[in-house]
Amino acid sequence: MDERGTRDSILVGVDGSTSSLHATRWAAGEAAARHTTVHLFHACVLPALGPHTSAATEAGITEDLVQQGHRWLRQARAEAWHAAPGIDVRTELRVGLPVAELIEESAHARLVVLGSRGLGGFKGMLVGSVSSGVAAHGHCPVVVVRGRMPDDPPPASGPVVVGVDGSAVSDAAVAFAFEEAGLRGVPLVAVHTWVDVSVAETWSVLPFDIDWDAVAEEERGLLAERMAGWQEKYPEVEVRQEVVCDRPVRGLLASAEGAQLIVVGSRGRGTLTGMGLGSTSQALLHHSACPVAVVRPAAGSDVREGG
User: Using the rule CB under 6 A, is 138 a contact of ligand ATP?
Assistant: no
Three-class secondary structure assignment of 164-192: CCCCHHHHHHHHHHHHHHHHHCCCEEEEE
Buried b / exposed e over 44-79, threshold 16 CB at 10 Å, is beeeeeeeeeeeeeeeeeeeebeeebeebbebbbeb
**Partner that binds at residue 37, options ligand ATP, Mg ion, none, CB closer than 5 to 8 Å by kind:** none
Among 4, 64, 82, 120, binds ligand ATP (CB under 6 A): 120
Q: How far is the CB of 39 from ligand ATP (least distance, A)?
A: 11
Write out the DSSP string of 19-49.
Answer: HHHHHHHHHHHHHHHHT--EEEEEEEPPP--
If the CB atoms of residues 92 and 219 are measured against Mg ion, the closer one turns out to be: 92
If the CB atoms of residues 133 and 297 are measured against Mg ion, the closer one turns out to be: 133
If the CB atoms of residues 169 and 290 are measured against ligand ATP, the closer one turns out to be: 290
The beta strand positions in 5-134, using DSSP E, are 9-13, 38-44, 89-95, 109-115
How far apart (Å, rounded) are the C-alpha atoms in residues 205 and 196?
Answer: 12
Q: How far is the CB of 203 from ligand ATP (least distance, A)?
A: 36
User: Using the rule CB under 5 A, is 120 a contact of Mg ion?
Assistant: yes
User: Using the rule CB under 6 A, is 19 a contact of ligand ATP?
Assistant: yes
Contacts of 264 (CB under 8 A, 6+ apart): 162, 163, 170, 173, 252, 280, 281, 284, 292, 293, 294, 295
Binding residues for ligand ATP restricted to 37-56, rule: CB under 6 A:
41-43, 45
How far apart (Å, rounded) are the C-alpha atoms in residues 85 and 24?
Answer: 13
User: Using the rule CB under 6 A, is 14 a contact of ligand ATP?
Assistant: yes
Among 20, 91, 106, 167, binds ligand ATP (CB under 6 A): 20
**Partner that binds at residue 114, options ligand ATP, Mg ion, none, CB closer than 5 to 8 Å by kind:** ligand ATP
User: Using the rule CB under 6 A, is 13 a contact of ligand ATP?
Assistant: yes
Q: How far is the CB of 119 from Mg ion (least distance, A)?
A: 6
In this structure, what are the phi and psi dihedrals at residue 38, rounded to the nearest 5 degrees? -95, 130
Amino acid at 31: A
If the CB atoms of residues 11 and 227 are measured against ligand ATP, the closer one turns out to be: 11
Indicate the DSSP class of residue 201. Answer: G
If the CB atoms of residues 186 and 285 are measured against Mg ion, the closer one turns out to be: 285
Q: How far is the CB of 83 from Mg ion (least distance, A)?
A: 23
User: Using the rule CB under 5 A, is 47 a contact of Mg ion?
Assistant: no
